[in-house]
Amino acid sequence: MLFAVFLPVLLAIFIPFFSKWKEKIHTGYFVLLAPLAVFIYFIPHVGNDFSPVSQSYDWIPSLNIGLDFYLDGLSLLFVLLISGIGTLVTFYSIFYLHTSERLDQFYVYLLLFMTAMFGVVLSDNVFVLYSFWELTSISSFLLIGYWNYKEGSRYGALKSMLITVFGGLSMLGGFILLSIITETTSIQAMISQADVILSSEYFGLILTLVLLGAFTKSAQFPFHIWLPDAMEAPTPVSAYLHSATMVKAGIFLVARFTPIFSGSDWFFVFVSGIGILTLVWGSYMAVRQTDLKGILAFSTISQLGMIMSMLGFGTSAAIYAAVFHILNHATFKGSLFMIAGIVDHETGTRDIRRLGGLVTLMPISATLAFFGTFSMAGLPLPFLNGFYSKEMFFDATLELNESSIAFANVLAQAIPYLAVFGSIFTFVYSMYLVFGTFMGKQKLDQLKIKPHEAPIGMLISPIILVLGVVLIGLFPNLVNSSFLAHTAEAIYGQSMEAKHVQFWHGWELPLYMSLIVVSVGAILAFTRKYWNGIYSFIPGKLSFNKVYDFLVDQSEKASAKITNVYMTGSLRLYMALILVAILVCSFGVLWITDGFAFENPKVDEITIQEVLIALTMAAAAICTVFTRNKIAAILILGVVGYGLALLFVVYRAPDLALTQLVVETITVALFLLCFYHLPNLRERTEKASQKLVNIIISVAFGTLMTVVAISAHSTKLFAKISDYFVETSYKLGGGHNIVNVILVDMRGIDTLFEIVVLAIAALAIYGLIKLRNKKEAE
Amino acid sequence: MEIIMSILAGVLFTTGIYNLLQKQMLRIIIGTALISHGAHLFILTMGELKTGAPPILEENIKNYTDPLPQALILTSIVISFGVTSLLLVLAYRASKENGTDNMEKLRGNEND
For residue A502, pLDDT beyond 70: no
Distance of alpha carbon A262 from alpha carbon A117, whole angstroms? 25
Confidence of residue A200 (pLDDT cuts 50, 70, 90): confident
Window from A16-25, A462-471, A663-672, B87-96 with minimum mean pLDDT: A16-25
Could you give phi then psi for residue A69, rounded to 5 degrees? -115, 145
In chain A, residues with a C-beta closer than 8 Å to the C-beta of B37 are: 640-641, 644
CB contact under 8 A, B5 and A614: yes
Strand, helix or coil for residue A454 = coil
CA distance, residue A751 to nearest chain B CA (Å): 7
Instruction: State the pTM of this model.
Output: 0.80
C-alpha distances (whole Å) from A505 to each of A310, A391, A395, A746 are: 21, 10, 11, 99
Chain B's closest residue to A631, CA to CA, is: B26
Query: Is A761's CB within 8 Å of B86's CB?
Result: yes
- Look over chain A and give the mean of its residue pLDDT values, rounded to a whole number: 84
**pLDDT value at A547 more than 80:** yes
Q: Are A71 and A486 in contact (CB under 8 A)?
A: no
Split at pLDDT 50, 70, 90, the class of A135 is: very high
Phi and psi angles of residue A70, each rounded to the nearest 5 degrees, phi first: -140, 120
Amino acid in the structure at residue A501:
V
Alpha-carbon dihedral sign for residues A378, A383, A385, A390: positive
A-B C-beta contacts closer than 8 Å: 265
Query: What DSSP assignment string belongs to A268-286?
Result: HHHHHHHHHHHHHHHHHHH
Instruction: Quote the minimal CA–CA distance from B82 to chain A in Å.
Output: 5
User: Could you read off the pLDDT of A722-742 as tens digits, one per residue?
Assistant: 888 888 888 888 888 999 999
- Do the Cβ atoms of B73 and A750 come within 8 Å? no
Q: Which of A115, A113, A328, A350 is nearest to A242 (CA)?
A: A113
CA separation for the pair A370, A372 (Å, rounded): 5
Measured CA to CA, the distance from residue A27 to residue A32 in angstroms comes to 9
Helices (H) and strands (E) in chain A, counts: 33, 2
How many CB atoms neighbour CB A714 within 10 A? 17
Q: What is the DSSP string of A728-775?
A: HHHHTT--SBHHHHIIIIITHHHHHHHHHHHHHHHHHHHHHHH---HH
Contact state of A572 with B38 under an 8 Å Cβ cutoff: no
The answer to whether B72 touches B54, Cβ cutoff 8 Å, is no
Q: What is the DSSP string of B17-41?
A: HHHHTSSBHHHHHHHHHHHHHHHHH
Q: Do the chains contact at B21 and A603, CB–CB below 8 Å?
A: no
Using CA atoms, how far apart are residues A174 and A256, in angstroms rounded to an integer?
14
> Contacts of residue B40 in chain A, CB cutoff 8 Å?
644
The predicted pLDDT at position A778 comes to 46
Predicted pLDDT at A267? 85
Longest CA–CA span in chain B (Å) reads 72
Whole-Å CA distances, A622 to A642, A684, A710, A753, B8: 16, 15, 22, 34, 11
Task: Give the best residue of B11, B40, B42, B111 to mutate against chain A (max A CB count within 10 A).
Answer: B11
Q: Compare B36 and A522 and report the one with higher pLDDT.
A: B36
**pLDDT at residue A457, as a whole number:** 81
Residues of B in contact with A776 (CB under 8 A): 97
The predicted pLDDT at position A600 comes to 63
A407 vs A647: CA distance, rounded Å: 82
Looking at CA atoms only, how far is residue A702 from chain B in angstroms? 4
Burial (Cβ within 10 Å: 0-12, 13-18, ≥19) of residue A100: exposed
Are residues B68 and A722 in contact, defined by beta-carbon separation less than 8 angstroms? yes
Q: Could you give the CA distance from residue A526 to residue A531 in angstroms, rounded to a whole number?
A: 10
Whether residue A287 has pLDDT greater than 80: yes
Q: What is the CATH number of domain B2-53+62-103?
A: 1.10.287.3510
With contacts defined as CB-CB under 8 Å, which chain A residues touch B95? 677-679
Interface contact B74-A656, CB threshold 8 A: yes
| Axis-axis angle for helices A456-474, A316-347 (nearest 10) | 160
A605 contact residues in B (CB cutoff 8 A) = 1
The Cα–Cα gap between A457 and A318 comes to: 38
Peptide bond into A539 cis (omega under 30): yes
Shortest CA distance from A776: residue in chain B: B97
For residue A700, pLDDT over 90 is answered with yes
The beta-carbon neighbor of B83 closest among A670, A722, A761 is A761
Of A572, A641, A679, the CB nearest to B37: A641
Structural contact between residues A203 and A264, judged by C-beta atoms closer than 8 angstroms: yes
**Strand pairing partners for A57?**
A67
**From B18, B56, B82, residue closest to A758, measured CB to CB:** B82
Indicate the pLDDT class of residue A167, thresholds 50, 70 and 90.
very high
Instruction: Tell me: pLDDT of A630 over 80.
Output: no
Query: Cβ–Cβ of B101/A575 closer than 8 Å?
Result: no
| Residue B94 near chain A (CB below 8 Å) | no
Closest CA in chain A for residue B68: A722
A chain contacts of residue B92, beta-carbon cutoff 8 Å = 674, 677-678
Which of the four pLDDT bands, split at 50, 70 and 90, describes residue A680?
A: low
CA distance B60 to chain A (A): 13
Indicate yes or no: CB of B17 within 8 angstroms of CB of A698: yes
CB under 8 Å to A217, separation ≥6 — which residues?
A133, A136, A137, A164, A167, A168, A246, A247, A249, A250, A253
Q: Is the pLDDT of residue B12 over 90?
A: yes
Query: What is the rounded CA–CA span in Å between residue A692 and residue A696?
Result: 6
Q: Name chain A contacts of B22, Cβ cutoff 8 Å.
A: 572, 684, 694
The pLDDT, as a whole number, for residue A663 is 92
Residue A153 CA to residue A444 CA, distance in Å, equals: 28
Beta carbons of A736 and B13 less than 8 Å apart: no
Counts of helices then strands in chain B (DSSP H, E): 3, 0
Q: Who has greater pLDDT, A111 or A481? A: A111
Residue A498 has what pLDDT?
62
Residues of chain A found within 8 Å of residue B2, distances taken between Cβ atoms: 600, 603-604, 709-710, 713
Of B20, B22, B57, the CB nearest to A738: B57
A557-564: average pLDDT: 91
Which residues on chain A are in Cβ contact (under 8 Å) with B41?
644, 647
Tell me the chain B residues in contact with residue A662 when contact means C-beta distances shorter than 8 Å.
none
Query: What is the dihedral sign for C-alpha A294, A295, A301, A304?
Result: negative
Minimal Cα distance from A704: which residue of B? B10
**Partner residue facing A701 (CB), from B17, B37, B40:** B17
Decide if A674 and B54 are in contact by the 8 Å CB cutoff. Answer: no
Note whether A307 and A274 are within 8 A (CB).
no
- pLDDT for A349 equals 80
Closest CB to B15 among A622, A653, A737: A622
Task: Tell me if A651 and B50 make a contact (CB, 8 A cut-off).
Answer: yes
pLDDT tens across B15-60, in order? 999 999 888 888 888 899 999 999 999 998 888 776 678 888 887 8
**Residue A71, beta-bridge partner list:** A53
Neighbours of A523 (CB within 10 A): 12
C-alpha span between A386 and A384 (Å, rounded): 6
Q: Where are the domains of chain B?
A: 2-53+62-103
pLDDT at residue A147 is higher than 50: yes
Q: Is the confidence at residue B62, as pLDDT, over 60?
A: yes
Q: Is B32 on the interface with A (CB under 8 A)?
A: no
Residues of chain A contacting residue B24, judged by C-beta atoms under 8 Å apart: 681-682
Question: Does A670 contact B4 at a Cβ distance shorter than 8 Å?
Answer: no
Rounded alpha-carbon distances, angstroms, from residue A394 to A254, A307, A399, A417? 21, 12, 9, 10
